[in-house]
């Protein structure tokens, strides 16, 4: 089986712009979660989607949003980018979510200048 | 609120040494799950193990072993006869059970460097 794929792998944006990141989960997996990794805050949970519905949300401002499509692919969007949004954004897929193991993609490295 | 603490920020060993990575967690739930992930320089988190709170049996997988002790809220990870390829950041994580979906709480990570 192919693993979790994320596109793009690297992205440079300017403050105030918006960005959309994409994640394709492992075939058959219905849960997709997003995490932000920064040197200062570590790995933090953003949100989880299961069967096109947001099932769980972390403590991030409303500028961070996401969605999931019927084929389980997910996108996350960050509007009005700030310098502090520079991070590695990791997507994880799981067969059913909950406490099943999550398999991570290679991440998207976002740099905001 | 749940919390995971990995007190060891960095560990450096020489190849073939055994090394133990510590993980201490806090949760109010009686049912929860613990995980270990490895993050090599490429950045992708690699799943290593998942353990539920009702299973305190230690586990061994090749050179890797895990010691889960509910009494001390610890879930430590030992690499036996370490190799250079084991160099990576290792994360311990906690997930509470229930219908609220997936939400991993990660520790700060331990950077392991294995020198030849």
**What confidence tens digit (pLDDT) does each residue in A8-65 have?**
999 999 999 999 999 999 999 999 999 999 999 999 999 999 999 998 899 999 999 9
Question: Looking at residue B31, what is its pLDDT?
Answer: 87
User: Between the CA of residue A99 and those of A56, A74, B1, B70, B94, what are the distances in Å?
Assistant: 13, 20, 17, 18, 9
Residue A72 has pLDDT above 80, yes or no: yes
- Please state, as a whole number, how many other Cβ atoms lie within 10 Å of the Cβ of residue B31: 12
User: Between the CA of residue A52 and those of A49, A67, A77, B20, B86, what are the distances in Å?
Assistant: 6, 7, 15, 40, 37
Contact A99 B109 (CB under 8 A): no
Which pLDDT tens digit goes with each residue over A53-68?
998 899 999 999 999 9
Q: Is A1 helix (H, G, I), strand (E, B) or coil?
A: coil
Contact A107 B43 (CB under 8 A): yes
* CA dihedral for B71, B72, B74, B80, sign (positive or negative): negative
**Of residues B12, B26, B18, the one with CA closest to residue B63:** B18
Higher pLDDT, B18 or A1: B18
Interatomic CA distance for residues B27 and B2, integer angstroms: 5
Of A94, A97, A107, the CB nearest to B44: A107
On chain B, the residues whose CB falls within 8 A of the CB of A48 are 101-103
| Shortest Cα distance, chain A CAs vs residue B27, angstroms | 15
Phi, psi (degrees; rounded to nearest 5) at B70: -65, -35
On chain B, the residues whose CB falls within 8 A of the CB of A92 are 45, 102, 104
On chain A, the residues whose CB falls within 8 A of the CB of B32 are 99
The answer to whether A31 contacts chain B (CB < 8 Å) is: yes
**Of residues B116, B112, B80, B108, the one with CA closest to residue B24:** B108
Interatomic CA distance for residues A67 and B99, integer angstroms: 20
Question: Looking at residue B58, what is its pLDDT?
Answer: 82
């Amino acid at each position: 089986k192919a693993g979790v794929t994320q596109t793009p792998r690297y992205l440079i944006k300017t403050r105030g712009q918006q960005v959309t990141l994409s994640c394709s989960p492992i075939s058959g997996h219905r849960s997709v979660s997003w995490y932000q990794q920064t040197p200062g805050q570590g790995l933090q949970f953003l949100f989880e989607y299961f069967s096109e519905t947001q099932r769980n949300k972390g403590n991030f401002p409303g500028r961070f949003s996401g969605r999931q499509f019927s084929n389980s692919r997910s996108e996350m969007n960050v509007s009005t980018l700030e310098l502090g949004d520079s991070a590695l954004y990791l997507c994880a897929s799981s067969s059913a979510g909950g406490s099943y193991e999550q398999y991570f993609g290679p991440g998207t490295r976002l740099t905001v200048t | 609120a749940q919390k995971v603490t990995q007190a060891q920020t960095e560990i450096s060993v020489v190849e073939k040494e055994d090394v133990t990575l510590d993980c201490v967690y806090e949760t109010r739930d009686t049912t929860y799950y613990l995980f270990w992930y490895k993050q090599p320089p490429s950045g992708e988190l690699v799943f290593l193990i998942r353990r539920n709170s009702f299973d305190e049996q230690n586990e061994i997988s090749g050179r890797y072993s895990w010691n889960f002790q509910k009494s001390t809220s610890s879930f430590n990870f030992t690499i036996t006869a370490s190799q250079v390829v084991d160099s990576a950041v290792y994360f311990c994580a906690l997930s509470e059970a229930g219908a609220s979906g997936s939400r991993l709480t990660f520790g700060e990570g331990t950077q392991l460097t294995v020198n030849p």
